[in-house]
Chains A and B, each alone.
Chain A
Amino acid sequence: MSARPRTLGASVLLGLLAAVVTGPTGDSDEPLRAAWDSIADVRIVLFLGLAVALWLVLVLGPRLRGLVAAVTAPPRRRLTAATLTMTARRSVAAAGRRGRTVAVGGGLLAVAVVAPLVVSTAAQQSMVNDIGIYALLALGLNVVVGYAGLLDLGYIAFFAIGAYATAYFSSSTAMPWHAPFVLNPFFVFPIALILAALAGVVLGAPTLRLRGDYLAIVTLGFGEIIHLVANNADGITGGARGAFGVPHLSVHLAGVDYAWGIDPLPYYYLLLVIVVGVMVAFGRLERSRIGRSWAAIREDEIAAEATGVATLRMKLLAFALGASVSGFAGVLFASKQFFNPQSFSLQASFFVVAVVIFGGMGSRLGVVVGAVVLQGLAFYLRDKVQPADRYIYFGAVIVVMMIFRPQGLVPSRRRRREIELSEAGVGAADSLGSATPTVVRP
């Protein structure tokens, strides 16, 4: 078979690429030296060995799969419209599954409560700043990407709006521009929520009328505008220096006096409560009339429109809701630590997208797991590679996921079925296409 040598060639190329990616860092004076050094090295034996192993798996895989499947489980049937109705009938069995879901959820929650107590302080910080905040961000973006099937590439801009709103309202020293009064950060939560949602509506209302992929570009541009303005407007935001001295969260109410401080643990538990609360709330939302509208829009927008779903309004709602969660997370972030425009770069937006995709779009547990795994990977890599180099791995993870497992690590059952069905030619799995008919002129 002629396909085999080609597969071997591709495997070897992949192995060489992996060697270059993990190899030494180069510079522009000798552009090819770093690549050459990583290939002309003893390690190359390991990578070529892996490449050959990959090739063997690819070539022998189909035969082995038959063997393995015969031992473990009946082969999965290809889904068609007919099997879809069968799956629906089988949902009677879902009652038993519910009990299991609760048990798994409780177990994971227990792990989340105990986990920070057994790790180092650096890891605790990372669990708050990286995992906790990004889990919240991913849950918000999941509404846009996972539920409504839209792509928002400037998601971090709403996060920035929340963070800068906190600096504006809760401190008179953090930024050159500040409110004439000082609010407790807790009161900034609703303000940031509304501001971010408003920004989302202003941005989404004109663009959501168009084909869905325009939204991706416009949000990308918007994210970059916010980033540039935050970076350049020295007189308002403090420019590249960032905002210093935003007060920590504190409660002074009905005899209770408590202030969150430098210790990451109280912040962690606050975030845990918020993340679990958001998960529960979005779970209910997903099963509500609104959630069903989103599913209908994803699967067949024209049919949804025809059956009376206000598609534009529902998409706008998802977009604004996602934005408001991002703004909310921004307040937490700002009151936790010092920040500067670097925190709101485009890469951060892409990272949130990566978390959602990796975890599984449309799956609440999935995106939280995605945040834990990817930020855990980032934490693990922090001493081993340069910070910016980590994005090489994240990029590769995104591409590989899209090729081999588009439904993500912990897929939502419905999303996976949509993707499989749309690949089989039944319905769609996002709402990017056919929002407006293509302009046909005489």
Chain B
Amino acid sequence: MGFLDQFWQLSVDGLMVGSLYAVIALGYTLVYGVLQLINFAHSEVFMLGSFGGLFAARALLPGDGSVPGGAGSIALVAVGLGAGAACGGLAAFTLERVAYRPLRRRAAPRLAYLISAIGASLFAVNLAGKEFGRQNVDLPDLFHNGTVFRLFGAAVSTQTLVIFAVAVAMLVGLDRLVAGTRLGQGIRAVAQDADTAVLMGVNVERIIIVTFVVGGLLAGAGGFLYAMTFNASYSMGFVPGVKAFTAAVLGGIGNVRGAMLGGLLLGLVESYGGYLFQASYKDVIAFGVLVAILMIRPSGLLGERLGRAA
């Protein structure tokens, strides 16, 4: 089968994965916007959210292995998303408290933040590995997964539709939050100029915490969606984390809409590339894209700065 025959199917799959990258990428971009720091441990927030959502949904499933339908399915997905988001938000909050705030109080050099986040990431990954085992954990089916409709011959499954719809809803919601609310105004103000924002009466400490938590909520819910298609494991965070970072850089780090665009584009590129080359080199393609953007257009497609673009 040629590439053209598969084109639409690859596009559908790519957009689904890409929407997840976009959701995770927002966490990087928001934190980068307010602190000018790459939050290395964001991938672990994603991992913990994924486990939280998975365990919560599994605990509520009937034990007989039957697949629920209708309202039961909707409730289970909602619970999973909620639990995932809650775990992600809590993890991000704890991370900020433990690994970032003590350093910020001291105005530590930036290298210290990166290293501290790496330490927190190592700690969280391996503690999760110890507590939850080091095998992949599958999420049982929460709904009957079948083809809903065909798009130019490409099958769009219920699962794809759910993931894409929830991810897009979160993206739109965040865009409205940043662009249209008082909180979003505060985030943009801190991103543009933290010192002036303080003078204008913005509580910068609070904005920083809220930014971390919002990024964590998104990553946690995204983690649950990710576990729905793939699975969860203690080391699951790293690869999607770096890809989401790539997406954020691709769109222009610190730029909310850029991260969304970057995520979708990266999902597509990876989907096509994985078909044209070899599936096992999928990750290499994503890293290659990252290196290439940094060489060609380091400010990303839509440019940097949270304050301007949102």
A interface vs B, CB < 8 Å? 20-21, 25-28, 31, 34-35, 145, 149, 151, 153, 203, 206-207, 210, 212-214, 216-218, 220-222, 224-225, 228-229, 232, 346-347, 350, 353-354, 357, 386, 388-389, 391-392, 394-399, 401-403, 406, 418-419, 422-423, 425, 428-430, 432-433, 436, 438-439, 441
Task: List, in ascending order, chain A residues with CB within 8 A of B288's CB.
Answer: 225
Apart from the given pairs A224-B283, A225-B284, A399-B119, 17 other A-B contacts in the complex at a CB distance below 8 Å: A28-B133, A31-B55, A210-B298, A213-B37, A216-B38, A218-B294, A221-B287, A228-B281, A350-B122, A357-B115, A388-B130, A392-B122, A396-B119, A396-B123, A403-B103, A430-B111, A436-B298
Question: A391 to chain B: which residues have CB within 8 Å?
Answer: 122-123, 125-126
> Knowing A228-B281, A388-B126, A391-B122 touch, does A432 contact B110 (C-beta < 8 A)?
yes
A406 near B112: Cβ-Cβ < 8 Å? yes
B126 touches A438 (CB 8 A): no
If A153-B118, A353-B115 touch, does A28 touch B290 (CB 8 Å cutoff)? no
Q: How far is the CA of A319 from the CA of B4 in the complex (A)?
A: 44
Cβ contacts B278-293/A at 8 Å (1 or 0 each): 1011011001101100
Smallest distance from the beta carbon of B236 to chain A beta carbons, Å?
A: 12
* B96-144 with Cβ < 8 A to chain A: 98-99, 102-103, 106-112, 114-116, 118-127, 129-135, 137
B260 at the interface (CB under 8 A from A): no
Tell whether, in the assembled complex, residue B112 and residue A28 are in contact, meaning their CB atoms are under 8 Å apart. no
Whole-angstrom distance between the Cβ of A374 and the nearest chain B Cβ: 12
- In whole angstroms, what is the CA distance A354 to B112 when docked? 12
In the assembled complex, the Cα of A402 lies from the Cα of B281 at a distance in Å of 36
Q: Do the beta carbons of B304 and A35 come within 8 Å of each other?
A: no
Q: Which of B116, B246, B283, B291 contacts A398 (CB 8 A)?
A: B116
Q: Are A206 and B294 in contact (CB under 8 A)?
A: yes
Q: Which residues of B contact A213 (CB under 8 A)?
A: 37-38, 110, 114
Give the Cβ gap from A301 to chain B, nearest Cβ, in Å: 12
User: Within the complex, which residue of B109, B120, B122, B132 is in contact with A31, where a contact is CB–CB below 8 Å?
Assistant: B132
Report, nearest first, the 4 A-B pairs whose CB atoms are least far apart: A398-B119, A395-B123, A395-B122, A221-B287
CB distance from A347 to the nearest CB of B (A): 8
**CA of A428 to CA of B108 in the docked complex: distance in angstroms?**
9
Q: How far is the CA of A206 from the CA of B298 in the complex (A)?
A: 10
Question: Distance in Å from the Cβ of A383 to the closest Cβ of chain B?
Answer: 17
Q: In the docked arrangement, what's the CA distance between A212 and B114, Å?
A: 11
Contact B131–A35 (Cβ < 8 Å): yes
- Tell me if B274 is interfacial: C-beta within 8 Å of chain A: no
Chain A contacts for B116, CB-based, 8 A: 398-399, 402-403
* Residues of chain A within 8 A of B119, CB atoms compared: 354, 394-399, 401-402
Selected A-B contacts with CB under 8 Å, 21 pairs: A21-B130, A28-B133, A35-B131, A203-B291, A206-B291, A206-B295, A222-B287, A224-B242, A229-B284, A232-B280, A232-B281, A350-B122, A354-B119, A389-B130, A395-B126, A397-B119, A403-B103, A419-B112, A429-B111, A432-B114, A439-B299
Taking the complex as formed, is B245 at the interface, i.e. its CB lies under 8 A from any CB of chain A? yes
Contacts A216-B38, A395-B119, A399-B119: A20 and B131 contacting too (C-beta < 8 A)? yes
Query: What residues of chain A lie closer than 8 Å to B287, measured between beta carbons?
Result: 221-222, 224-225
Residue B7 interfacial (CB < 8 Å): no
A419, B118: Cβ atoms closer than 8 Å: no
Q: How far is the CA of A32 from the CA of B305 in the complex (A)?
A: 41
A221:B242 contact, CB within 8 angstroms? yes
* A399 lies within 8 A of B108 (CB): no
Q: Does B238 contact A (CB under 8 A)?
A: yes
Which single residue of chain A is at the shortest CB-CB distance from B32? A213
Taking the closest CB of chain A, its distance from the CB of B146, in whole angstroms, is 27
